[in-house]
């Protein structure tokens, strides 16, 4: 099957870039469509149909690829944030690590501001290409993120609930009891040897 995208950095990709800069379709001599950054109107429709068909016929592999490249971006962002461990407790099991918005993540949806947990892959790409500030994020484990939601008041334990928990022998710290470490802690189980 003919590739639709030129490999990044290849001569063909450079040629495409130049062509788009001149306002011309990368498939024919016609001008670019207003709705596309690469094609004329006919080729835009052709490419859309082709992509849809390809996705329909290769759903599993397409979804897998999206997931893999998204997680690669997630790992790169975590590394840029200081490492793959919780900055509060040092937990380093990737399965429970989250990228937390320091001030609480909000995304405008249809004119409203709706808070949302977890970052989408698009959010990650936005951090990578500088559209979102790296300093607004940090790595937390799911437990510490949940605690932080309580500390910043997004989730609430009513005194009656706390009472019931304590009466049953459970533990529940007072609000804001968890100290916020100033410096990221090292990972708990480091099996890394010297870097070379």
Q: How many CA atoms lie within 13 A of 10 on its CB side?
A: 7
Q: Where does this chain touch Zn ion (CB under 5 A) — which range of 13-21, 119-127, 141-149, 185-193?
A: 141-149
Q: Looking at beta carbons only, is 122 or 143 nearer to Zn ion?
A: 143
Whole-number CA gyration radius for the chain: 23
Write the binding mask 28 to 57 for Zn ion: x where contact by CB under 5 A, - elsewhere. x-x---------x--x--------------
27 binds Zn ion per the rule CB under 5 A:
yes
Q: Looking at beta carbons only, is 163 or 177 nearer to Zn ion?
A: 177
85 binds Zn ion per the rule CB under 5 A:
no
Quickly tell me which residue has 């149909």 as its tokens: 49
For 68, other C-beta atoms within 10 Å of its C-beta total 10
> Measured between alpha carbons, how far is 155 from 140 in angstroms, rounded to an integer?
17
Q: Where does this chain touch Zn ion (CB under 5 A) — which range of 53-61, 73-81, 110-118, 134-142?
A: 134-142
Contact 141, 91 (CB under 8 A): yes
Q: Looking at beta carbons only, is 77 or 141 nearer to Zn ion?
A: 141
CB of 30 to Zn ion, least distance (A): 5
25 binds Zn ion per the rule CB under 5 A:
yes
Contact 54, 46 (CB under 8 A): no
> Measured between alpha carbons, how far is 145 from 152 in angstroms, rounded to an integer?
10
> Measured between alpha carbons, how far is 90 from 94 in angstroms, rounded to an integer?
11
Q: Looking at beta carbons only, is 100 or 123 nearer to Zn ion?
A: 100
Q: Looking at beta carbons only, is 119 or 141 nearer to Zn ion?
A: 141
Q: How many CA atoms lie within 13 A of 42 on its CB side?
A: 8
99 binds Zn ion per the rule CB under 5 A:
no
148 binds Zn ion per the rule CB under 5 A:
no
CB of 67 to Zn ion, least distance (A): 24
Among 86, 99, 119, 127, binds Zn ion (CB under 5 A): 86
DSSP string covering 156-182, please? ---HHHHHHHHHTT---PPTT-S---S
How far, CA to CA in Å, does 117 sit from each of 109, 152, 159?
14, 14, 25
Residues that bind Zn ion (CB under 5 A): 25, 27-28, 30, 40, 43, 86, 88-89, 91, 141, 144
């Amino acid at each position: 099957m003919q590739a639709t995208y030129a490999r990044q950095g290849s001569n063909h990709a450079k040629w495409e870039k130049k062509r788009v800069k001149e306002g011309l379709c990368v498939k024919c001599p016609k001008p670019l469509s207003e709705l596309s950054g690469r094609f004329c109107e006919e080729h835009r429709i052709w490419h859309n149909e082709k992509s849809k068909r390809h996705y329909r016929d290769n759903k599993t592999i397409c979804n897998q690829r999206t997931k893999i490249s998204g997680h690669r971006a997630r790992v790169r962002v975590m590394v840029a944030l200081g490492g793959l461990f919780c900055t509060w407790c040092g937990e380093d099991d990737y399965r429970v690590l989250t990228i937390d918005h320091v001030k609480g993540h909000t995304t405008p949806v249809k004119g409203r501001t709706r808070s949302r947990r977890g970052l989408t892959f698009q959010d990650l790409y936005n951090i990578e290409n500088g559209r979102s500030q790296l300093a607004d994020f940090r790595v937390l484990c799911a437990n510490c993120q949940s605690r932080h939601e309580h500390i910043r008041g997004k989730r609430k334990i009513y005194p009656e609930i706390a009472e019931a928990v304590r009466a049953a022998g459970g533990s529940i710290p007072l609000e804001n009891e968890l100290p916020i470490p100033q410096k990221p802690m090292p990972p708990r189980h480091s099996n890394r040897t010297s870097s070379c």
